[in-house]
Amino acid sequence: MKSVRAVLDYFVSGNIQYIFGIPAGSVNAFFDELYDTPSITPIVTKHEGAASYMAAAYAKYSKSLSVCIGSSGPGGTNLVTGAANAMREHLPVLFLTGAVPVSTMGLNASQELDADPIYQSVTKYSKRVDRAEDLLPEIHKAIEIAMTGVPGPVHIAMPIDVQLQQIADTTLPEFPVRKPLLPGDDSISNAVNHLAKAKRGYIFAGQGIRDSVEDVIELAELLNWPIVTSPQAKGLIPDDHPLLKGIFGFAGHEEASQLINDTPTEAVLILGSSLGETATNNYNMNITKDRFTIQVDFDDSVFNRKYPVDVSIHGDIQLSVSSLVTELRNKGFEKKPKASVQKPQTADMVEYNTRNVLASLQEKLPQSTRYTIDIGEFMAYVIHHMDVLHEDSFDINVHFGAMGSGIGSALGAKLADPDRLTVSITGDGCFFMHGMEILTAKEYEIPVLIVVMNNARLGMVHHGHSLQYKRAHDRFNQEPTDICKMADSMGIPSARVEQLEDLTADTIESLTKHQGPAVLEIALVDDNIPPMGDRVKFLSSFGK
């Protein structure tokens, strides 16, 4: 059999359902084998970058390996941003790239690129396979690495001739399954002893708590400690929980900032956060200052990276937090009932602005809606003002911050979780990068609603420059484009909002009932300063 046939058979054994990417000469042998692999659907996108975001979101919400493929040369480089994104989010994605025949390497072959070293800094493992008999073993090894310990992306480059060469019939290796990372008993016991002694503390929660929210809430209730989350963890803790003090970091909340900066506490328990720039309000050292610090993570490289840690617990968050809960209960800790709280509604719902549009949108969509949030000034409003009404309701990629990623993420999330209404909140700048994926959604009948905040400018750049440099270049503005007319030309349902009264329940319902995508364009230039927190102060500090 061809070596690439063995690879497809291996994927079938691992229940791979989708492969995201674009066919081209150097991977045509791979796509040809898909004719005989009906259980795998190729999701042929309009750009490899968007395919990589789809694959990442699919891995996140299916809780399984995802596969993404691109050609040699430009296809491979277009996937690199998505690989870097998956690396930051600890998502197991196998990136496959074609390569020129081994015999023509170094001879300036068409689309020649030595992709292996390019991917090494943004994946857990990267390898070019130059022998057909090594292709399946190397892909198996890469997937094992992707699924082991801290999940993450991997990359294999496949020369054309290697894919096509015949190999002996082979027994398929067993498809890897990630094994739980168990925390050490001593570290759990040590942490519990300190938690039990601390009279006042707080929990700092990052996106790593995604699969252990109930345990985290129970832990907070046992300790009676307030919870602060990072922006990436937006959507995980319900806003009406009485212990939630809001978001700290980019576009965060004053109550969370006051807790960290001004409220005396003896200890802090950090759960599932790498304590990066956007999560820590530009590395604010008050997070751990004069506090006994316990950090829980499955990635031991985050311990003592920037913030000194007194007790580190290396293990899966769910297992670690569950163990902490069990031990605290054994020590006699019990939950103290608290009534849920309602967020005060202070916004004036008359002005046509970003905050009011988002509030009106959320009011008219089901509470269970999942929002994938792109990168732009609207993102700050989402983080700061939109309510968390349902579990795992926001996907915010502020960690790596790739414009256009929220569009591909919506498609990948919907494929992984088809019963959940999925809405991408994006901007015109992001849409012009990856908005053509609405055609992908149409062709595959993926029902997602793309909400485009159209202000005819690079909004976050405009506001950032205005605040930091007291001026903004005229070229940050763009020629106004009617995105609904673009959607209409592609046969995609759409509606355009030019005033708050246009955003009606009937409009929303009409756009979400289709077996395919729809576009809601919000034509709005909002000159209010977005709630970006101390981001501009941090950028302004350089050079002084």
Q: Which of 151-155, 483-487, 536-540 has the lowest mean pLDDT?
A: 536-540
pLDDT digits (tens, 9 = 90+) for 423-466: 999 999 999 999 999 999 999 999 999 999 998 656 566 556 67
Rounded-to-10 torsion of CA 293, 299, 300, 303: -30
pLDDT digits (tens, 9 = 90+) for 54-64: 999 999 999 99
543 belongs to a structural domain? no
Single-letter code of the amino acid located at 11? F
The answer to whether 512 touches 421, Cβ cutoff 8 Å, is yes
Mark whether 225 and 286 lie in a shared domain.
yes
Mark whether 231 and 304 lie in a shared domain.
yes
Mark whether 303 and 380 lie in a shared domain.
no
CB neighbours of residue 1 within 10 Å: 13
Determine the pLDDT at residue 482: 94
Mark whether 154 and 262 lie in a shared domain.
no
Interhelix angle 377-385/459-468, nearest 10 degrees: 90
- Which CATH number characterizes residue 26's domain? 3.40.50.970
CA distances for 127 relative to 16, 66, 134, 149, angstroms: 21, 18, 11, 20
CA 223 to chain centre: 30
Cα–Cα distance between 288 and 270 in angstroms, integer? 10
Domain tally, the chain: 3
178 belongs to a structural domain? no
How confident is residue 334, by pLDDT bands cut at 50, 70 and 90? Answer: very high
| Residue 452 dihedral angles phi and psi, to the nearest 5° | -105, 115
Cα–Cα distance between 21 and 185 in angstroms, integer? 44
The answer to whether 102 touches 161, Cβ cutoff 8 Å, is yes
Determine the pLDDT at residue 80: 97
34-42 CB contacts, 8 Å cutoff, 24+ apart:
34/8, 36/8, 37/8, 37/11, 37/12, 39/12, 40/8, 40/11, 40/12, 40/16, 41/17, 42/18
123 belongs to a structural domain? yes
Determine the pLDDT at residue 460: 60
Single-letter code of the amino acid located at 316? D
Cα–Cα distance between 498 and 368 in angstroms, integer? 27
Determine the pLDDT at residue 479: 80
345 belongs to a structural domain? no
Q: Token pair 């950032």 is at which residue?
A: 464
| Residue 164 dihedral angles phi and psi, to the nearest 5° | -90, -15
Mark whether 30 and 85 lie in a shared domain.
yes
Determine the pLDDT at residue 100: 93
Of 149, 341, 335, the C-alpha closest to 242 is 341
Q: In what order do the strands lie in the sheet with 41-44?
A: 41-44, 18-21, 66-70, 93-99, 154-159, 125-128
Mark whether 324 and 399 lie in a shared domain.
no
The answer to whether 461 touches 401, Cβ cutoff 8 Å, is no
Mark whether 14 and 150 lie in a shared domain.
yes
Q: Token pair 């790596």 is at which residue?
A: 400
Category of 247 on φ-ψ map: left (φ > 0), alpha (ψ -120 to 50) or beta: beta
End-to-end CA distance of the chain: 64
Determine the pLDDT at residue 514: 87
CB neighbours of residue 97 within 10 Å: 31
| Residue 104 dihedral angles phi and psi, to the nearest 5° | -105, 5
Average pLDDT across the chain, whole number: 93
Range(s) of the domain holding residue 59: 3-164
Cα–Cα distance between 407 and 393 in angstroms, integer? 16
Determine the pLDDT at residue 531: 84
Radius of gyration of the chain (CA): 24
pTM: predicted TM-score of the whole model, two decimal places: 0.93
* Between 70 and 107, the higher pLDDT residue: 70
Q: Which of 125-139, 149-163, 164-178, 340-354 has the lowest mean pLDDT?
A: 340-354
How confident is residue 108, by pLDDT bands cut at 50, 70 and 90? Answer: confident
Of 180, 173, 179, 181, the C-alpha closest to 14 is 173
pLDDT digits (tens, 9 = 90+) for 264-321: 999 999 999 999 999 999 999 999 999 999 999 999 999 999 999 999 999 999 999 9
477 belongs to a structural domain? yes
Mean pLDDT of 481-493: 95
151 belongs to a structural domain? yes
- Which CATH number characterizes residue 208's domain? 3.40.50.1220
Cα–Cα distance between 471 and 3 in angstroms, integer? 58
Determine the pLDDT at residue 392: 93
180 belongs to a structural domain? no
Cα–Cα distance between 100 and 496 in angstroms, integer? 47
In DSSP terms, which residues pair with 402 in a beta bridge?
none
Of 40, 38, 32, the C-alpha closest to 11 is 40
Determine the pLDDT at residue 338: 76
How confident is residue 248, by pLDDT bands cut at 50, 70 and 90? Answer: very high
Mark whether 144 and 281 lie in a shared domain.
no
CA angle 5, 10, 16 (to 5 degrees): 110
How confident is residue 475, by pLDDT bands cut at 50, 70 and 90? Answer: low
Mean pLDDT of 342-362: 84
Mark whether 518 and 457 lie in a shared domain.
yes
Mark whether 157 and 189 lie in a shared domain.
no
CA angle 172, 175, 176 (to 5 degrees): 145
Mark whether 358 and 448 lie in a shared domain.
yes
Of 190, 416, 437, 222, the C-alpha closest to 314 is 190
Whether 373 has a pLDDT exceeding 80, the answer reads yes
Quick one: how many helices (H) and strands (E) in the chain? 20, 18
Token reading at 93: 């994605």
342 belongs to a structural domain? no
Mark whether 282 and 383 lie in a shared domain.
no
CA distances for 214 relative to 32, 168, 241, 317, 450, angstroms: 45, 50, 12, 12, 30
Determine the pLDDT at residue 112: 81
* 96 three-state secondary structure: strand
In DSSP terms, which residues pair with 341 in a beta bridge?
none
CB neighbours of residue 88 within 10 Å: 20
